[in-house]
Amino acid sequence: MKNPLKKIHIALFNSLAKRDSCPERAITDLDFLPHKGVSAEWWYFTGFLNQKFGFELTFFKIEFTPNVGILKLFPIHIVSHFAIADIENKKFLFRERLSPVFHIGTDKILEIRNMNTSLLANGQSYNLQADFKEYSLFLALSPSKTIVPHGNNGIAQMGNAGNSYYYSITSLKAKGTFKRKDEVLNVKGSVWQDHQWGNFKIYPHWDWFSLRLNNNVDIMAFNLRDNGGNVINQLITVILEDGTILRDNTFNLQILDKDFHAGKKQYPEHWKLDSKYGEFFIHSVMEDQVIHSFFTPDYLEALSSVNGTLLKKKVKGHAFVEITGY
């Protein structure tokens, strides 16, 4: 995070953000809606379409205390991140948008419109749109798995940053259209959604893995680090094919990237993840899938391949890896 303006953005957010411990409560089907009054919230979607295209589309809602100066007029802002990993053309593209918003839905509908990106949802279906010159994506999503709370009944502990509510829908069936310049393709696949919110500060040092295995098992592993690289908290959630959920608070993450260790790149792109449930080798399918954001911490958002063992059986699949703070 070498951009001094970005450091100012994050410092400003952290100075204005509220911080609390997240009172215990159940995650419900209505939590897809925005949560009024929380400092930070995001809806995060990643998917693999037609076995050719990886994408990320995320909507960050930033809400400040309304009585702070000029923010009285614009207390809520949306930052949208759209990234495409075009495996066929070995091209990675990232676009970002920021705008104030005055309307993000009702008590039944989520509606976020940020320039040429949008998210519409009613809890049973989601519609995503990102319309840019180089690539455009229009998707209709329907959940094929249920909500999975992470951490302690949906509360993720994040050290001095505070706590957040956090759940995933690890599989939404997706179909729609993908436009690459003048080429329009019908696409389908599976999409993973994360939803996180709360009054917490941003400390950009984490490793996040979402594994989508070919035996219909999904795994989330989250590793939060302090400025010195020491682990603050770990979460791992395994969702078996029959819906059984396994949780633990420890795993071992090993960086296998020789070029990273030699100082030739900022982010590693090869890992080994060990837990009591199995071991997984994870490899980015393309180099330099890096998000260079003007407003948020930079991060790697890497479509990756997976192979290894789960509960002593061989598995393979794909993953998205999000890491920052290196």
pLDDT in tens, 204-230: 689 999 999 999 999 999 999 887 888
Question: Worst-scoring range by mean pLDDT, 19-28, 148-157, 270-279?
Answer: 19-28
Which CATH number fits the domain 4-324, given the four candidates 3.40.50.150, 2.40.370.10, 3.40.1380.20, 3.40.50.720?
2.40.370.10
At 67-84, the pLDDT tens digits run: 666 666 777 889 999 999
Q: Give the tokens for residue 54.
A: 């990886």
Element (H, E) at 145: none
Q: What is the pLDDT of residue 232?
A: 87
Alpha-carbon span 99 to 113, nearest angstrom: 9
- pLDDT tens figures, 224-247: 988 788 888 999 999 999 999 999
> Which of 186-190, 256-260, 276-280, 291-295 shows the lowest per-residue confidence on average (mean pLDDT)?
291-295
- Distance between CA atoms of 121 and 109, rounded to whole angstroms? 6
Among the listed residues 159, 152, 158, 125, the one whose alpha carbon sits nearest the alpha carbon of residue 140: 125
The domain ranges of the chain are 4-324
- Residue 188 forms beta bridges with which residues? 175
Q: Could you give the C-alpha distances from 283 to 4, 182, 291, in angstroms and in order?
A: 32, 31, 18
Pairing of strands 278-284, 270-275: antiparallel
Please give the pLDDT value at position 95: 97
State whether residue 260 is helix, strand or coil.
helix
The better pLDDT of the pair 163, 275 is held by 275
Asked if the model's pLDDT at residue 111 lies above 70, the reply is yes
What is the mean pLDDT of the segment spanning 279-289? 97
Q: How confident is the model at residue 14 (pLDDT cuts 50, 70, 90)?
A: low
Q: Does the pLDDT of residue 164 top 60, yes or no?
A: yes
Q: Which residue's entry shows tokens 């798995």?
A: 145
Q: What is d(CA 171, CA 45) in angstroms, rounded to the nearest whole number?
A: 10
Identify the band that residue 295 occupies on the pLDDT scale cut at 50, 70 and 90: confident
How far is 241 from 317, CA to CA, in rounded Å? 14
Instruction: Kindly provide the b/e burial profile for residues 135-145, where b requires at least 16 CB atoms within 10 angstroms of the residue's own CB.
Output: bbbbbebebeb
**How much is the pLDDT for 18?**
60
Tell me how far apart the alpha carbons of residues 228 and 48 are, in angstroms, rounded to a whole number: 34
Six-digit token string for 196:
């996180």
- Alpha-carbon distance of 142 to 193, in angstroms, equals 11
Residue 323 has a pLDDT of: 96
Q: Specify the pLDDT at position 106.
A: 87
pLDDT on residue 69: 63
Q: Is the pLDDT of residue 165 over 90?
A: yes
Q: pLDDT class for 170, splitting at 50, 70, 90?
A: very high
Q: How far apart are CA 98 and CA 197, in angstroms?
A: 19
- Over 80: is that where the pLDDT of 15 sits? no
Q: Kindly report the backbone phi and psi dihedral angles of residue 81, in degrees, each rounded to the nearest multiple of 5, phi listed first.
A: -120, 130
Mean pLDDT score of the chain, rounded to an integer?
Answer: 90
203 pLDDT higher than 70: no
* Least-confidence region, from 57-66, 106-115, 272-281: 57-66
Closest CA to 304 of 29, 16, 85: 85
pLDDT value at position 310?
A: 98
CA R_g for the chain: 19
| Residue 17 pLDDT grade (very low, low, confident, very high; cuts 50, 70, 90) | low
Structure confidence at residue 161 (pLDDT): 72
Whole-number pLDDT of residue 226: 83
**What's the pLDDT score for residue 319?**
98
